[in-house]
Every structure is written in structure tokens, then in C-alpha cells.
Amino acid sequence: MFVASTSFLPSQFAMVCLTHAAAHVLAGEHRAACAACVLAVVLGWPFAGVAAIPYGLASLRAVGFARTLFAVSISLLLSSLASFAIDRHFYGRDTWSVANIVRYNVLADTGGNSQLYGVESPTFYLRNLANAFNVALLASLAAPFAAMSASTFRETPPARRAAYAKLLLAYSPFPLALAFFSALAHKEERFMYVAHAPLLVGAATAACCVGDVAGYAARRAFAFAFALARGGRGRGRGRGLLRFEALARDGATLAIVIFVAAAGVARVVAL
């Protein structure tokens, strides 16, 4: 993501906007997230709109159609006017680069064909992301399953389950973008820039969920051992149980973070 953030590309600007949108989603600010997504599409890269779909749907559910439409319309109007004015100044005629990009890559009447610049297999992005994010990619892909596993424990409080849902919402643009761009014949590394932040949200979610599962499992093991030691009497409640749970949860999460960081450092050193 460091390489992506320093690239002077439209998809890099879209990545920054989607990162802000993910932060707004986590904060419950859905209209601001929609505005950031509009900026990503109009001032950045039009195809970033694919990654923005989950945030738009979440806004419709959270604040309603009217408020979502208002937030999108205002940001669309202002950013489109700015984009059109800049294009007109530098091209010397009335044109809109956003529409030109879509026409060239999507519509056949322009004679454009992105496949002229090369095609790749459907596994291109998985291989590319594995090279860039190593274990974090695997953790991100496993995030939904890790959240479901953690939610099945009766010890999981409702607030924790709600936090899992919010994290998975912020993560959702990644699998959608991965599926969409993998289905296209022409592929470039920069196309997935817009999903880098959601990918890392998914990896962090998986790490937290694994930590929670380890904590809950440790709590049950501690309670069971305590009951055996007392001849089946008591369930091992108290500070000792909670400390043991916290130690197992934090230890598992920290181990994943250290492993991912070590893999990233090893790659940098190898290069």
C-alpha cells in the first residue's frame, strides 16, 4: 500500500478517497462516505464506483434514500463542475475525461479496446496481492468466516457482534472489486489500488476475531480445568478467568500481527 500511495495515478487518488470512505463507514457517517466515493469516481477513476457500491447500499439502509441522494447529488454536482472546467481549460474544448474513459473502455462505438494493452488470467490479482500483502491477503479473505466463527460463541456480547458487522461492511468493497476486476480480460496492478484499504480492514478483522475465539476458548478451558480441580464444583468464575481470557485473546492477535509484519520485512530485505 505504501507503493500505491506514492503513485501519481488516478487510481491512487481513488484509493485515498475510498480509504476516507471506509473510515466514515466505521464512524457511522454514511453520507460523508458517499461523498468520498463520488470524489473517487469523478476526480479519480470512474471504475472505483464498483468498490463504492456496498457503501452506497449501506447509506440507503442507514439514512434513507432522500438523504443519500442529497449527499451524492451535491458532491456529484460540485466535483463534476470542477472536473469539466479543468478539462475544458487544458483540452481547449468542451469535454469530460470521466465520460471519455468510460466510453473508451465500455462502449464499442469509440473503437477503444483495453485488451490491446495485454490480458491476464483470472488469478492475476490473487497472485499480485499475495506478493504485496503476503499473509494479510489470506487473513482478509478469511475475514467473513472468522467473524462468523467468533459470533457463534455464546460469550460474544451483542456489541461485539455489531462491531463485526460494521467491520465487514467496511471490508466489503475488497471482495467485490476483486471479483469484478478478475473477470475482466485486461488487468493491471493499479486497478486494485481502490480496494487496498478494505483489504487491510479485512485482515485486521480476521486478526481480532481469531483473538476473540482464542479468548473464548481459553475461558472455557480455564473454567473446565477449574471445575475438574474442584471435583466438578464451581465454574471458575472471577478475575483469574477474565485475565486468562484477555491474555489468550491479546496473545493470539499480537502473534498474527507480528507474523504479518515479519513477512513484510522479510520481503523488503529480500528485494
In Å, what is the CA distance from 72 to each residue of 35, 164, 230? 6, 27, 63
Confidence at residue 154, expressed as pLDDT on a 0 to 100 scale: 78
Contact call for residues 160 and 211 (beta carbons, < 8 A): no
**Residue-level pLDDT at 238:** 54
Mean pLDDT of the residues in the chain = 87
Q: Are 125 and 249 in contact (CB under 8 A)?
A: no
Among residues 174, 194, 238, 243, the alpha carbon closest in space to that of 37 is found at: 194
Q: Which range (104-113, 153-162, 242-251) has the least confidence?
A: 104-113
What is this structure's pTM? 0.87
The alpha carbon of residue 152 and the mean position of all alpha carbons in its chain are separated, in whole angstroms, by 23
Instruction: Please say if the pLDDT value at position 226 is more than 70.
Output: no
**Number of C-beta neighbours around residue 187 at 10 A:** 21
Nearest-angstrom CA–CA distance, 99 and 83: 11
Q: What is the pLDDT of residues 114-170, one digit of tens each?
A: 777 778 899 999 999 998 898 899 999 999 999 999 988 877 888 989 999 999 999
Q: Which amino acid is at 104?
A: Y
Give the span between the Cα atoms of 164 and 202, in whole angstroms. Answer: 10
